[in-house]
Amino acid sequence: MQIKITQRVVKDLEPPKHGNVIRYDSEVPGFGVRITAAGVVAFILGYNHQGRKRRYTIGRYPEWSADAARNEAIDLRKGIREGEDPLQARENDRTQPTMAELAEDYIERHAKPHKRPRSMSNDEQKLKRIILPRLGRLRVSAVTRRDIELLHGSLKKTPYHANRVLSLLSKMFTLAIEWGWREDNPVHGVQRYQEDKRETWLTIAQLRRLEAALRDYPDQEAAHAIRLLILTGAREGEVLSATWEQFDLKRGRWTKPSAHTKQKTIEHVPLSRAALSILSDLAERRKGDHLFPSRYGHGPRVTLRRPWVQVLKAAGLATAEKYQGKRRQLTRYRPTVRIHDLRHTFASHLVSRGESLHKVGRLLGHTSPQTTARYAHIDDAALRDTANNFVLISKRRT
């Protein structure tokens, strides 16, 4: 006998001794409630599609109420009358890739073949720590612009980092479109945070304090790596991944392979006497193919993060921050300059001493003066001399 399925009817259901029992609704054709011998209750919808009998599970009780399940059954029947098959749609949805699978394909199919190791490592960290904990289980096709906005908004205290996460997601969804995993990019239209331009660079006085701290630092290999960054304007990844075969110490030249440069071109960089002195010292203690081999196995050292913070702390270029540990209050030190600012410093001091943007750009591996100009911040003393020249000119004219 069919009766209207209500909350009370569902509560009064008795489990059978074996198998399961279905009670069908008297008002919505095919709508019913099923109870198993284990007492599991679920709402179902029976229907016909292209001559085949189908049974779709709407959801379990009490997660679904009787009224909510009834409304869902009514909506499903509308689609069925138009030729839809909700069971097939659910099966198709289960085979669609998740964000975790997109992340894996992004690294294997895009990052590894096309990005530098350091950039790929940064992407992996963003995926592991930020993106996948929030979106990893979602189907790629199910992610909405609202999902992206909430994730981006949760990072508003670090706007630069938040925007880099957004850029990574945008690239991932662009690839998802190319691979036929969805038709649009939900990142489009999400407003990025305003970013203040980072123009920090070290003065001569600060460089002297930094060198004093480097001289006293116990790990002189790490200290030499930082010195090379100062003396060459190279990127951290270029220095750490460098191998001895790239250097011609007699001719004083560093040949950077295209795989290690941002422009993906081979670069031939002349080295200063100070840089060559450091390389000679390293050569005497050579331990393998890399200038800075890993202390934990094969390959190169991958980061200078810890030495950088410790050296800046000793040089008075890091700020102390108190935070509460599990048992007591602790102090951590935050650098006031980034390691990439050494590249700015290299360019700025050279331009301040009258070197052309073209020459400085060649040393940095830039292809246009406009790119170098972003790094070259003129020293106050050089600007003051220019201002004084104007005064002298004015005096002569009067």
- pLDDT (tens digit, 9 = 90+) per residue, 376-396? 666 556 555 655 555 444 444
For residue range 146-170, what is the model confidence (pLDDT) as tens digits?
999 999 999 998 898 999 999 999 9
- Residue 348 pLDDT: 85
Is residue 282 in a domain? yes
Q: For the purposes of burial, counting CB atoms within 10 Å of the CB of 350, is it exposed (0-12), middle (13-18) or buried (19 or more)?
A: buried
Burial of residue 215, with CB atoms counted within 10 A of its CB: 0-12 exposed, 13-18 middle, 19 or more buried = exposed
Q: Please, are residues 9 and 3 in contact by the beta-carbon 8 Å criterion?
A: yes
* Shared-domain flag, residues 382 and 307: yes
Q: Are 163 and 218 part of one and the same domain?
A: no
121 CB-contact burial (10 Å; exposed 0-12 / middle 13-18 / buried 19+)? middle
Q: What is the pLDDT of residue 37?
A: 92
Residue 363 located in a structural domain: yes
* Domain CATH for 44: 3.30.160.390
Supply φ then ψ for residue 31, to 5 degrees.
-75, 130
Which two structure tokens, joined as six digits, stand for 250?
């007699």
Ranges of residues in the chain whose predicted pLDDT is under 50: 391-398
User: Do 156 and 305 share a domain, yes or no?
Assistant: no
Last residue of a domain, one of 65, 80, 95: 95
Quick one: which of 20, 22, 60 has its CA closest to 36? 20
**Which residues are 324's β-sheet partners?**
329
Tokens of residue 299, six digits: 């390959």
What domain range includes position 64? 7-95
Same domain? 259 vs 127? no
Q: Count Cα atoms within 13 angstroms, Cβ side, for 31.
A: 22
In a domain, 88, yes or no: yes
Give the pLDDT of residue 381.
60
Residue 197 inside a domain? The answer is no
For residue 193, tell me if it sits in a domain: no
pLDDT at 265 (0 to 100): 73
- Are residues 280 and 317 located together in one domain of the fold? yes
CA 9 from centre of chain: 52
What is the rounded distance in angstroms from the CA atom of residue 205 to the CA atom of residue 224? Answer: 20
CATH number of the domain that 122 lies in? 1.10.150
Query: pTM for this one?
Result: 0.59
In order of 123, 131, 133, the CA distances from 127 in angstroms are: 6, 5, 8
Asked if residue 387 is part of any domain, the answer here is yes
Q: Are residues 17 and 38 in the same domain?
A: yes
Select from 39, 74, 95 the last residue of a domain.
95
- For tokens 């972003």, what's the residue? 374
In total, how many domains does the chain have? Answer: 3
